Amino acid sequence: MNFLKMDVPVTLTPVTLTRAATRFFPLLLSLGLTPVAGLAQDASDPALTRCLAQAGSAGFTLPVPPEKVEAIRAAEAACDAAIADGTATAEVHFLMGMLMQSEGALAAAMDHYRQAAWLAMHSGGDVAHAARDPEPEPQAAPEAPAGPGASASEAESTPEETVVAGGAGNAAQATAADDDASDSGAAGAEMAGDDASAPPKDAVQTETPDRSAGTGQTAPVEQAAPAAPETPAMTAADYQSRPPLEGCTALAGPPDSGVPVSPAALEATLAALKAARPFCERAVADGSADAAAYFQLAVLLQAEGDHRKALEYFGKAAQMGLAAAHSKLGDYFLFGIGPVKADLDKAVAHYQQAEAGGDLAAMTTMAFLYRLGRGVPRDPVQMIERMRKAADGGYQFAQYRLAQIYLTGDGIPGGSDAALGIPNPELGVKYLEMAARAGNSKAILELAQLYADDGNGVAADPEAYVLWTEKAADTGDAAAIAALGYLYETGTGVAPDPARAAALYVEALESGKISFAALRRGQGGRAARWDKDTARAFQTILRERGLYDGAIDGIVGPITAAAAARLGR
């Protein structure tokens, strides 16, 4: 079962993104980027060629003109096919992200933007700055002090999380540049990772919900201790009569520029910061603001495109000793955001200040820079050392990325290094499970895949395979929902259930995040012949939806496929 493509070395055709794309570039990296797996990018691929020919260039500004949306929609089938066969370029993902955003499918849009950012980054590294339109005269952002010994007024850091190779904070730039910030706010949610109002990091449920209804199975992960009686959460109104800083701190939660564990966590953080904003602003006005208050306001200002003010507030927070603020400033210099010109030396200096303060996400950022040789020498030893420290410290994104290193040799020249103990499937599974139990949706997906067969040095485990596929489907991932359907169709690890399989296929297609061609993937990426009963159940649902008027004969041909393709529109 190969519903999830694993990270493998790829050869990428250089891609030049437009200014519109660069606005989303930092956002996408902040959302848990992972390389697009598959074949080398090949501009001669028919699906890719049709996609780009029909959709046209991504060289437009936000909001997307209606005629551009229609052009992309006309090219959607071809673009989906290019994505499914692994030949999609950064521009394809960016175009599809624009389409999904225009239709309000913000989670799908963020997925596409994330993939576009990673492809752009690996196509040369300086895409974001090189492709940008001329900016006003640059404003100098606060520089990082020379080293960890700098005075507290300059940069004494404290442990807060920063971003991996980009930053949740500079994700705000996605919504910033145009007057459409209110419309694109959720898709460009610039926020840091989980906070007090976000779902808990161990958000994976201890029992599989009713997707397995009728199988008599539950999927225990680990039993949580009995919950203590909950105290009703205080609202913004409760803090009106209290000192502004108290309301700012309580409602916003701790500063965190790390990668959110999930889209839901990101949205919860965004809502929390908006609720805290008036209190933080009052704290600044009355002189009581601390580093965290300046940081949270800077994140919101960044979202609105007020980069100069955001830089000022991030600078104040950094001078007051907040490591996460150094990470944000590092993001500005790494990507050349707003009025700041890209400067790798300054970016690394800021990240090192955050890292010196024990910032787990800054360690992960530096690990990526050592992997890529950007601003520091390429050094796999330094990459692994920092990634392991961040992972062992509890940072779910580092856990996920370290698992890839141990499982596949990702980032290691030649894919293996005996001196570094790579590959090491046992450690790979350990870190992947840590990330999955923290709620990392990609880790959940890949755990399911690992247990599907004996590949990657991990023994097949049908029960674990079903359990984690259920968990992956519960995250709303379309590929996982389709994979679960395939399990019910083929009776892999569960009793065959044609009706349930068909319903899951429909659910996956309705999300708009998976094409019919990619719906059923078996061993080696090829689907088995449709089970007749499942095909009939599928055709029946299509007929009930008014999409299919052919025979209920269990033969899935062009007419059935065309009807199914309309489910996601």
pLDDT at 2: 37
The answer to pTM > 0.75 is: no
Identify whether the C-beta of residue 280 lies closer than 8 Å to the C-beta of residue 268. no
DSSP collapsed to 3 states, 82-148: HHHCCCCCHHHHHHHHHHHHHCCCHHHHHHHHHHHHHHHHHCCCCHHHHCCCCCCCCCCCCCCCCCC
pLDDT tens, position by position, 154-199: 333 332 333 323 333 333 223 222 333 332 232 232 223 333 333 3
Q: Which two tokens stand for residue 14?
A: 């250089």
**Amino acid 374: pLDDT:** 95
What is d(CA 27, CA 8) in angstroms, rounded to the nearest whole number?
23
Signed CA dihedral, 494, 499, 503, 508: sign only = positive
Q: How far is CA 60 from CA 17, 97, 336, 534, in A?
A: 11, 13, 20, 44
Q: What integer pLDDT is reported at residue 233 of this predicted model? A: 65
pLDDT by 10s per residue, the chain, length 569? 333 333 333 233 333 333 334 334 444 433 333 333 333 333 344 778 888 888 886 554 445 677 888 888 888 888 877 776 667 787 887 888 788 776 655 556 666 666 666 555 444 433 333 333 333 344 445 555 443 333 333 333 332 333 323 333 333 223 222 333 332 232 232 223 333 333 333 344 433 334 444 333 333 334 334 444 454 567 778 888 889 999 999 999 999 988 888 777 888 888 899 999 999 999 999 999 999 999 999 988 988 889 999 999 999 999 999 999 999 999 899 989 889 999 999 999 999 999 999 889 899 999 999 999 999 999 999 999 999 999 999 999 999 999 999 999 999 999 999 999 999 999 999 999 999 999 988 899 899 989 988 877 899 998 899 999 999 899 888 888 999 999 999 998 899 999 999 999 999 999 998 989 889 876 556 677 999 999 999 999 999 999 999 999 999 999 999 999 999 87
CA distance 301 to 309: 7
The Cα 118–Cα 113 span in angstroms is: 9
CB 240 within 8 A of CB 254: no
Between 291-303 and 263-285, two packed helices, what is the crossing angle to 10 degrees?
120
What is the Cα–Cα distance from 68 to 303, expressed in whole angstroms?
25
How many residues are there in the chain?
A: 569
- What residue has token string 């059935």? 560
106-129 as b/e, with b when 16 or more CB fall inside 10 Å? bbbbbbbbbbbbbbbbbbebebbb
Identify the three-state secondary structure at position 354.
Answer: helix
| Maximum distance among all Cα pairs of the chain, rounded to whole angstroms | 77
Q: How far apart are CA 520 and CA 535, in angstroms?
A: 12
